[in-house]
Amino acid sequence: MRASFLMGLVGGQRALTPLASVAVASARDELTADNRLTRFLGHPLIAAGAVALAVAEMVGDKQKSAPDRIVPIGLAARFVTSAIAGAALAPRRERWLGALIGGGTALAASYVGWRIRIRAMEEYGQTATGFVEDTAVLASAAAIVRS
């Protein structure tokens, strides 16, 4: 459940990174394929699509027109993608609990991350803080799926 929780923290900062990281790990056979979810996420087209969407989100985040992560559609996306990732990372018999932990953690982390980013943007700007956040998110997601 620790991995589901940690991936929820990642999902609070970037909605699509949890899904992309789990899909890539599944495609590389780095996750157990004991259920249909990991097999589905590991399909090359699903993994490539998830990565493309995650990259697009990171590019869009640097734009002045980017909405706050706490808008309802953003929160919904964070919950769903983190719930899927949390389920994929959870032990087989606890997939639903992993989904709830991943999704719920993403919702809470969204607000915390938003507050931190708003304060950082006042001093360092949107682009610089976005790149720092991207780096932390990518490194964290990679470490989580490898552990």
Model's pTM, two decimal places?
0.92
Band (69; pLDDT cuts 50, 70, 90): very high
Q: Is the pLDDT confidence value at 83 over 70?
A: yes
Quote the pLDDT of residue 33.
62
3-state secondary structure of 35: coil
Please state, for a pLDDT cut of 70, what percent of the chain lies above it: 98
Give the closest residue to 7 by CA, choosing from 31, 33, 29, 28. Answer: 31
Span 52-64, pLDDT tens digits: 999 999 999 888 8
Instruction: Pick the closest to residue 83 from 17, 14, 13, 19 (CA basis).
Output: 19
